[in-house]
Amino acid sequence: YNPRGVFATALSTLRIAVPEPLRCVVVQRAAGAADIFAWRSPTETVWICDSPPRFDDTKSALKEADDGYLVDQTSGRRLVQLRGPRREKLLAHLGSGFAEIAVGASKIGRMADIAVLVCKPSEEETLLVVDRLYLEHLLRSLRIGAAAPQLQ
């Protein structure tokens, strides 16, 4: 990835932020919508977007850039939003090491024996990005953890 290349320039024009390593960036959009960009690796940033038209427009705008790629993982990854006062206790209970993640941080690790990308865009919310094949397993582990007596 060339931070001064054609792809990076197109991203900048579209107001898409590439986060620093181990960080996530929230870009507020119209009508309360937001895009979240989470660092996953030196060559991969995960873009969480809830606007199909915006996604399609961005995909079209980036197709001419040959020094970077937009890979559509819409059907391959799933997003789990954790909110509420017991969120951090639940993450600590699962032994993930994600309970102390700072606002604006992004981290990859293991939770319920699967790889999970975790980002914390705000104090009130923690996001988990997981391969769709493992979503049910992760959700089951979260439910079991949330029902633990020490979290009640």
Residue recorded with tokens 């119209």: 30
| Pairing label, strands 114-122, 106-111 | antiparallel
Q: What pLDDT is stored for residue 86 in this prediction?
A: 87
Residue 78 pLDDT:
92
Helix axes 52-62, 6-13, angle to 10 degrees: 150
Give the pLDDT confidence score for residue 1 in this predicted structure: 62
What is the structure's pLDDT at 149? 85
Phi and psi at 106, nearest 5°, equal: -135, 135
pLDDT < 50: residue spans in the chain: none
Q: What is the pLDDT of residue 75?
A: 87
